[in-house]
Amino acid sequence: MAQPALIDDNSGGDDTQGNEAQGNGVELGALHGILGFHIRLAHGAVYRHFTETFADLELTQKQVSMLWLVGDHPGIAQIDVGNLLRMDRATTMTIVNRLQDRDYLRRERSSSDGRKQALYLTAGGEAALEQAKLCIDAHEAWLKSRFTEQEIEKLVEMLARIHD
Amino acid sequence: MAQPALIDDNSGGDDTQGNEAQGNGVELGALHGILGFHIRLAHGAVYRHFTETFADLELTQKQVSMLWLVGDHPGIAQIDVGNLLRMDRATTMTIVNRLQDRDYLRRERSSSDGRKQALYLTAGGEAALEQAKLCIDAHEAWLKSRFTEQEIEKLVEMLARIHD
DNA sequence: GCCTATTTGTTAGTAGAGCATACAATTATG
DNA sequence: CATAATTGTATGCTCTACTAACAAATAGGC
């Protein structure tokens, strides 16, 4: 069938969440007990579905997160965005650069601290963010569909214990 | 203090798990409710700690996972490793190539199916895997230290619901 | 058996994200 | 004021992941 890489194309219509590793009799073994391993696999699955969902908008996770943060905090400094998203300065640069090139974001020297770049959404950026939030809703619905409200709360709380 | 990027160097000795985003009065806001966002941040934190832990061995997550799988299943086909680790064929190739170049792994045409490459650990590969498992223990201990046994079980089960 | 489709491996090229390093400009500190 | 720290910037490297194209082997339909 020449599947397109790992993306679950779901073109069949009614197949049941076909994400399982088609173990050819081969199993994970002791690797199954490794928590970090499950986090990586879960992240990969989320990443792939995100990429699919945002294929039309051509936005990545980091780009959306950054648009979102700048939308919530106009004038936020580059360094603060980086800190909140756990990116170093160099990585933050590349994301801001891309969004600026696409005219979604603009930089402005901070008046209170000349070292900082204050970030603002352009009109295009606000429109893109609006679109993106709709996609996020769909993406999150897909992700959360397998959990109860309580489970989601517990899961978020546990994940926060890892990254906080 | 010129921190080395995002790695928590922990050279102070007794500082308390300094992973929090030093919010300059800036908060995540609605982004906090996004489950996918927490998965990404948690993955990032795990990834960074893993990289630190394996700096001496110079092994990545994928490389360790592959060594582990091949150790557990001598003669496993490349494609099956890829499926279990959710990598496409091209990505699997680069990982196998690197491990082969370092003489940790060897390829052998499968006798039962001429299309498949059966993978085996070399002596060096077995030694590396042994070392790696010690590092994994340390890494997992760091990760699991913030949870009870029951929480870990629940967390693994929930993460599996995402990637299975 | 034969023709065709599928599977598997391979190569080459692209892109995103992350990191280190070095430097400049600005601000903070003793 | 001199020095240190912070922030932004530029460059270069690595790892992961993907696409596309091709070759070899196998599987399936007739």
Check if A140 contacts B (Cβ < 8 Å).
yes
Task: Answer whether B11's CB lies under 8 Å from A155's CB.
Answer: no
The nucleotide lying nearest B116 (C-alpha to C1') is: C8
Q: Taking CB atoms and an 8 Å cutoff, what residues of chain A touch B44? A: 86, 163
pLDDT at B62: 96
Residue B117 three-state SS: strand
CA dist., res. A44 & res. B162, Å (int): 10
In which band, very low, low, confident or very high, does the pLDDT at B148 lie, cut at 50, 70 and 90?
very high
In which band, very low, low, confident or very high, does the pLDDT at A25 lie, cut at 50, 70 and 90?
low
CA dist., res. B80 & res. A31, Å (int): 15
Whole-angstrom Cα Rg for chain A: 19
pTM for this prediction: 0.86
- Cβ-defined contact of B20 to A164 (cutoff 8 Å): yes
Q: Taking CB atoms and an 8 Å cutoff, what residues of chain A touch B72? A: 29-31
Which amino acid appears at position A145 of this protein?
S
| Res B11 pLDDT > 70 | no
| Res B45 pLDDT > 90 | yes
| Geometric angle at alpha carbon B43, from B3 and B121, rounded to 5° | 105
Range 89-128 of B in CB contact (< 8 A) with A: none
B56 phi/psi in degrees, rounded to 5: -70, -40
Check if A163 contacts B (Cβ < 8 Å).
yes
Beta strands in chain A (DSSP E): 76-77, 105-109, 117-121
Range 34-93 of A in CB contact (< 8 A) with B: 34-47, 50, 61, 65, 68-69, 72-73, 76-77, 80, 83-88
Kindly state the helix (H) or strand (E) to which residue B28 belongs, with its residue range: none
Neighbours of B115 (CB within 10 A): 8
Positive or negative, the CA dihedral A135, A139, A145, A148 is negative
Residue B106 three-state SS: strand
